[in-house]
């Protein structure tokens, strides 16, 4: 992992578990900084922790009493331990955060955030730099500004950049193909460097001004533009003065719509935690270049008794695991290892990072506003959770389940006349859709009749629950659904019942959701094994809930199908012919114009193509004519 040396726990024998196992491990531990992992049955990672002194820290778990119920349960569940020794406690903190974020142990505070953050990229690999929204790896040469809290915040800033600096947003291919200015130039959103409406030197000036704006030097820029406008007015150049005036208005509009942004906060993240009823929300405001670049709410997973300071400390370490921290991180709750975290963030960012809990002044007011937002977001989340719990209880009653379902899996198929067929599964729980657990299934059966929805459903369910049956047989902690919904009526439900019976999973509740007459929403018919089909009243909350699930499954299936279709459209039949490499492919396309042209070509014409031998010509001809 690059931060220390692995030191696996020594096998303590099959009889040692819990306190006895931990006490045995302590005998061999050094008094050095490091990270420890506590594992349960089946190598499940229960907890990841760091220590300035591994021996002292792990010794605390070897005591027979004095632990909270949560810690005591974790100790009892421990079957093995692993250790990594690091050079410093700072490195141990960084490694701990990385492992927690990657492994998501049951007993740690974990940040559930799998989204990347958008940036603004000012490209530097072209004579006329392009400004665009960017996510992912920084593989393009240029300057990156961010992160922004959302795509909306990026789009608002890009809109300002277009109005104030007239930079191009088009791709290189569009830029190279222009012969006259586009509509953006007509509405004064682009200076049209593509057709020479502005010189390369003057465009470079606009790029430098945009960089000043994104780097927080907008005040200096505004003063310079005001002087330019005044000078243009004095020499009676009113067209230029009006253009500069429009740019000044665009820049001024930014400060007018920023909301609270006190002096002295040029580059900072304002982070506040609110905890209530065993749950918490962390609110993050992004301030860059003296501007508010949006905010986002997070709901970390943790034990209901976790302290606010511990939640915030764990959140910050994981939040900055894959992104650089700003110069300042302002928090609403002080915590014990704040200085150590600042040192770790400084090490990772390559610049000094200060973590502060301001007690007074404008910064305290800013932190207070973030805390208010966190509290309100948490209350909304809890209200939504209460409503969801009520709906799930109604679902259990409607479909005769033993308890409200914790995991609902929904299946749908998508194809066009049997082509590019695939199945899709979405998952929902008490907190809504679990999008990281969605799955798509490319239909693989070669004997399946194109368009046979029953056979498609049978294949998809067999693959999904065949895997589940194997995991359960091994004793693994598999994700077992409490309810399965299949899109379709009695026929699809019968296929699902047969699959579950073959796999020994007949105890998993199944429901078929058939569209009503004329496929009207609100007139769905529900098929339940052992019961007569039912139809729910139009205003029934369970009906709305199932419709949302079905619509989400359909959306996911259609999206996956379109992506598969688009990928298939890009494939060239010539790529599949053995012996036809890139050069011969180019020669064939140059001679016949397209793959279809090649497929219709006579054998003699193929033989006359440069680089194509008689034998290869015969092979190409036979490929398209079934050897005839």
What is the domain-level CATH number for residue 544?
3.30.420.340
Which region among 53-57, 215-219, 398-402 has the lowest average model confidence (pLDDT)?
215-219
57 and 146 together in one domain: no
**What is the DSSP secondary structure assignment for residue 218, as one 8-state letter?**
H
78 and 181 together in one domain: no
Asked whether residue 401 is assigned to any structural domain, the reply reads: no
438 and 545 together in one domain: yes
Cα-flanking dihedrals φ and ψ of residue 346, to 5°?
Answer: -60, -45
Q: What is the mean pLDDT of residues 588-602?
A: 81
**Residue-wise pLDDT tens digits, 357-382:** 999 888 898 999 999 999 999 998 88
Q: How far apart are CA 577 and CA 588, in angstroms?
A: 12
The residue out of 558, 586, 609 marking a domain boundary is 558
Choose among 36, 28, 135, 128: nearest CA to 78: 36
Asked whether residue 319 is assigned to any structural domain, the reply reads: no
Task: Kindly tell me if the per-residue pLDDT of 226 is higher than 70.
Answer: yes
- Tally the domains of the chain: 5
Task: Kindly tell me if the per-residue pLDDT of 595 is higher than 70.
Answer: yes
The residue out of 68, 103, 138 marking a domain boundary is 103
Q: How far apart are CA 381 and CA 274, in angstroms?
A: 12
Record the tokens describing residue 7, joined without a space: 């030191």
Task: Kindly tell me if the per-residue pLDDT of 69 is higher than 60.
Answer: yes
**Residue-wise pLDDT tens digits, 498-546:** 999 999 999 999 999 988 655 556 678 999 998 899 999 888 889 989 9
The residue out of 103, 135, 161 marking a domain boundary is 103
In which band, very low, low, confident or very high, does the pLDDT at 135 lie, cut at 50, 70 and 90? confident
Task: Kindly tell me if the per-residue pLDDT of 554 is higher than 80.
Answer: yes
234 and 333 together in one domain: no
- Is 596 exposed, middle or buried, given 0-12, 13-18 or 19+ CB atoms closer than 10 A? exposed
546 and 412 together in one domain: yes
Record the tokens describing residue 552, joined without a space: 């989400």
Record the tokens describing residue 227, joined without a space: 């002087």
Peptide bond into 384 cis (omega under 30): no
Asked whether residue 219 is assigned to any structural domain, the reply reads: yes
**Residue-wise pLDDT tens digits, 443-471:** 777 666 666 778 888 888 999 999 888 88
User: Helix, strand or coil for residue 272?
Assistant: strand
Q: How far apart are CA 435 and CA 112, in angstroms?
A: 12
57 and 186 together in one domain: no
Cα-flanking dihedrals φ and ψ of residue 395, to 5°?
Answer: -60, -45
Q: How far apart are CA 457 and CA 454, in angstroms?
A: 5
**Residue-wise pLDDT tens digits, 411-451:** 988 765 545 678 889 999 888 888 888 998 887 776 666 66
Q: How far apart are CA 621 and CA 106, in angstroms?
A: 61
**Residue-wise pLDDT tens digits, 285-337:** 998 877 788 889 999 999 888 899 999 999 999 999 888 899 999 999 999 99
Strand order in the sheet with 279-288: 291-298, 279-288, 268-276, 328-331, 354-356
The percentage of the chain sitting over the pLDDT mark of 70, rounded to a whole number, equals 89
pLDDT for the residue numbered 563 = 75
User: Helix, strand or coil for residue 282?
Assistant: strand
**Residue 387 falls in which region: left (phi positive, over 0), alpha (psi -120 to 50) or beta:** alpha
Whole domain around residue 140: which residue ranges?
119-256
Record the tokens describing residue 406, joined without a space: 């914790």
pLDDT for the residue numbered 1 = 40
Task: Kindly tell me if the per-residue pLDDT of 32 is higher than 50.
Answer: yes
82 and 124 together in one domain: no
pLDDT for the residue numbered 489 = 85
User: What CATH number is associated with residue 66?
Assistant: 3.40.1440.10
Asked whether residue 395 is assigned to any structural domain, the reply reads: no
Asked whether residue 389 is assigned to any structural domain, the reply reads: no
Q: How far apart are CA 625 and CA 628, in angstroms?
A: 6
pLDDT for the residue numbered 334 = 94
Highest mean pLDDT among 141-150, 268-277, 477-486, 586-595: 268-277
pLDDT for the residue numbered 416 = 55
Highest mean pLDDT among 91-105, 377-391, 603-617: 91-105
Task: Kindly tell me if the per-residue pLDDT of 600 is higher than 90.
Answer: no
**What is the DSSP secondary structure assignment for residue 110, as one 8-state letter?**
B
- CA 619: distance to chain centroid? 46
Cα angle 562, 565, 567 (rounded to 5 degrees) comes to 110
Contact 107, 46 (CB under 8 A): yes
27 and 123 together in one domain: no
246 and 283 together in one domain: no
The percentage of the chain sitting over the pLDDT mark of 90, rounded to a whole number, equals 36
3-state per-residue secondary structure call for 403-423: CCCCCEEEEEEEEECCEEEEE
Cα-flanking dihedrals φ and ψ of residue 38, to 5°?
Answer: -105, 125
User: What CATH number is associated with residue 580?
Assistant: 1.10.150.20
Record the tokens describing residue 558, joined without a space: 């259609």
Asked whether residue 262 is assigned to any structural domain, the reply reads: no
pLDDT for the residue numbered 405 = 94
56 and 133 together in one domain: no
pLDDT for the residue numbered 417 = 52
414 and 552 together in one domain: yes
Q: How far apart are CA 467 and CA 484, in angstroms?
A: 16
DSSP secondary structure letters along 165-205 = H----S-HHHHHH-SS--HHHHTTS---GGGTSS-HHHHHH
Asked whether residue 244 is assigned to any structural domain, the reply reads: yes
530 and 580 together in one domain: no
Contact 120, 157 (CB under 8 A): yes
Record the tokens describing residue 158, joined without a space: 């890009």
Helices (H), 235-302: 238-256
Asked whether residue 516 is assigned to any structural domain, the reply reads: yes
Task: Kindly tell me if the per-residue pLDDT of 257 is higher than 50.
Answer: no
The residue behind tokens 């935690």 is 273
In which band, very low, low, confident or very high, does the pLDDT at 2 lie, cut at 50, 70 and 90? very low
């Amino acid at each position: 992992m690059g931060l220390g040396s692995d030191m696996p726990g020594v096998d303590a024998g099959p009889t040692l578990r819990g306190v006895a196992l931990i006490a045995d491990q302590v005998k061999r531990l050094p008094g050095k900084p490091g990270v420890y992992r506590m594992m349960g049955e089946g190598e499940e990672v229960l907890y990841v922790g760091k220590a300035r002194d591994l021996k002292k820290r792990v010794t605390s778990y070897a005591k027979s009493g004095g632990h909270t119920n949560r810690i005591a349960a974790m100790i009892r569940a421990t079957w093995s331990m692993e250790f990594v020794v690091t050079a410093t406690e700072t490195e141990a903190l960084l490694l701990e955060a990385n492992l927690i974020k990657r492994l998501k142990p049951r007993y740690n505070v974990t940040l559930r955030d799998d989204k990347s953050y958008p940036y603004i990229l000012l490209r530097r690999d072209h004579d006329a730099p392009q400004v665009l929204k960017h996510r992912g790896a920084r593989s393009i040469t240029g300057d990156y500004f961010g992160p922004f809290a959302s795509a909306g915040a990026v789009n608002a800033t890009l809109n300002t950049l277009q109005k104030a600096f007239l930079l191009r947003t088009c791709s290189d291919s569009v830029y190279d193909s222009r012969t006259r200015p586009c509509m953006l130039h007509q509405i004064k959103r682009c200076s049209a460097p593509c057709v020479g409406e502005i010189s390369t030197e003057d465009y470079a000036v606009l790029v430098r001004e945009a960089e000043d704006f994104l780097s927080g030097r907008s005040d200096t820029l505004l003063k310079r533009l005001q002087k330019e406008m005044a000078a243009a007015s004095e020499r009676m150049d009113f067209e230029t003065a009006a253009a500069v005036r429009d740019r000044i208005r665009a820049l001024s509009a930014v400060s007018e719509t920023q909301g609270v942004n006190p002096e002295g906060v040029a580059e900072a993240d304002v982070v506040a935690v609110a905890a209530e009823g065993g749950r918490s929300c962390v609110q993050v405001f992004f301030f860059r270049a003296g501007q508010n670049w949006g905010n986002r709410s997070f709901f970390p997973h943790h034990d209901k008794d976790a302290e606010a300071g511990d939640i915030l400390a764990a959140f910050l370490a994981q939040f900055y695991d894959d992104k650089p921290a700003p110069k300042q991180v302002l928090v609403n709750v002080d915590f014990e290892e704040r200085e150590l975290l600042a040192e770790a963030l400084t090490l990772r960012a390559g610049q000094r990072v200060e973590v502060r809990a301001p007690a007074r002044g404008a910064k305290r007011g800013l932190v207070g506003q973030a805390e208010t937002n966190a509290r309100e977001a948490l209350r909304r989340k809890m209200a939504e959770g209460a409503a969801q719990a009520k709906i799930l209880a109604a679902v259990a009653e409607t479909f005769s389940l033993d308890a409200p379902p914790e995991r609902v899996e929904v299946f749908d198929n998508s194809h066009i006349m049997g082509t590019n067929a695939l199945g899709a599964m979405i998952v929902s729980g008490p907190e809504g859709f679990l999008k990281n657990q969605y799955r798509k299934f490319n239909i693989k059966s070669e004997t399946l009749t194109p368009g046979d929805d029953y056979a498609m459903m049978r294949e998809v369910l067999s693959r999904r629950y065949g895997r589940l049956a194997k995991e359960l047989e091994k004793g693994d902690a598999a994700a077992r659904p409490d309810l399965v919904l299949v899109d379709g009526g009695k026929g699809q439900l019968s296929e699902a019942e047969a699959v579950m019976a073959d796999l020994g999973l007949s105890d998993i509740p199944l429901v078929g959701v058939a569209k009503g007459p004329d496929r009207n929403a609100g007139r769905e018919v529900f098929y339940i094994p052992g019961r007569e089909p039912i139809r729910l009243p139009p205003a029934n909350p369970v009906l709305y809930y199932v419709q949302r699930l079905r619509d989400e499954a359909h959306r996911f299936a259609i999206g996956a199908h379109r992506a598969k279709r688009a990928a298939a459209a890009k494939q060239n039949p010539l790529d599949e012919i053995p012996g036809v490499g890139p050069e011969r492919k180019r020669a064939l396309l140059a001679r016949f114009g397209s793959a279809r042209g090649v497929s219709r070509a006579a054998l003699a014409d193929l033989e006359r193509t440069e680089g194509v031998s008689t034998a290869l010509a015969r092979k190409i001809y036979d490929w398209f004519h079934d050897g005839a």
